[in-house]
Structure 1
């Protein structure tokens, strides 16, 4: 029985503006899984949840061990990128997951949220939803990864811990794996 868990939430924009980047997202998720698979100590502690969103958010993969098989992320035929509803769903999901893990007497570390998008929200109220997410207990460590023609200012507001840009040559899988494994190995990240 694992007594220490790091919940990791990958939140991915799958709107039309991200359609050309979904293959890169899926390759990055496979690479991430391969990296954590190589380190049993790390993989034993990570629980992964995947949330996708366009006009509406959806939990595509509930929180479970990182090495459990997961299907590929698919693009949605929706033009909107409702960041606010995605942040609200993630906040509620984190609260539920943490409560459930604690009920199992599992020590829960501070969650990591890895947000993937071009940083082009279509809902003007998203900053309020982000503020509620980052004010929640526990507040996730916020990491943003931009793909395509990104709005760096928006991504910087979201990725308060770190911002990675695919256009800078950073691979999504490497950014995700390094962020999560670094966090697992830090004893002060609780």
Structure 2
């Protein structure tokens, strides 16, 4: 039985504005899995949940070992990017997952939230939902990854720990793997 678990949440905008970047997201998830696969100990500790959103959010992969293959993320032909609904779903998902793991006697490291988007929210009240997420006892380390023509100010508000931009030549899988590795090195449990 694994005694420590690091929950990771990949939250991906799949709205119409992100259609051209979904292949990069899927390549990044495969690359991340390859990095985790190279370190069996880390692979046993890291769990990955994938949440997609456009006009509404959806958990497309529950919190499972990161070594388990993930289904490819699919774009939606929806104009909206409802950040607030995504943050609300992630908050309840993280709280439930952390509670379930603790009930199993597992020590839980501080979760990592890796938010992938162009940063162009269509709901003006999303900062309130973000504030509720970051005010929880199981507040994740917040990392943002911007693809396309990004709204840097929005991504800076979300990625309080770090912001990566694909246009700078940073690959999503490497950014995700390095963020998880950096968090895993901290002895922080919740």
State the TM-score, normalized to the length of structure 2.
Answer: 0.98
Distance 2:179 2:122 in 1: 28
Tell me the equivalent position of 1:156. Answer: 156
C-alpha displacement of 1:189: 5.8
State the secondary structure of the residue aligned to 1:114: strand
Hey, which bits of structure 1, 4+ residues long, moved more than 4 A?
none
The 5 Å alignment of 1:123-142 reads 123-142=123-142
Query: Which sections of structure 2, spanning at least 5 residues, go unmatched?
Result: none
> Quick check: 1:33 aligned with 2:49?
no
Q: CA shift at 1:187, angstroms?
A: 2.3
Aligned length: 190
How far apart in 1 are the matches of 2:90 and 2:179?
Answer: 19
Moved more, 57-66 or 175-184: 175-184
C-alpha separation between the residues in 2 aligned to 1:187 and 1:84? 30
**Comparing 18-27 with 177-186, which one deviates more in the overlay?**
177-186
Task: State the shift of 1:153 in Å.
Answer: 0.4
In structure 1, the gaps of 5 or more residues are: none
Secondary structure (helix, strand or coil) at the match of 2:110 reads: coil
Answer with 180-189 or 143-152: which moved more.
180-189
User: With structure 1 as the length reference, what TM-score do the two structures score?
Assistant: 0.98
Q: Does 1:12 align with 2:15?
A: no
Q: Which residue of 2 aligns with 1:167?
A: 167
Partner of 1:69: 69
Structure 1 residue 102: deviation in Å?
A: 0.6
The residue number in structure 2 matching 1:104 is 104
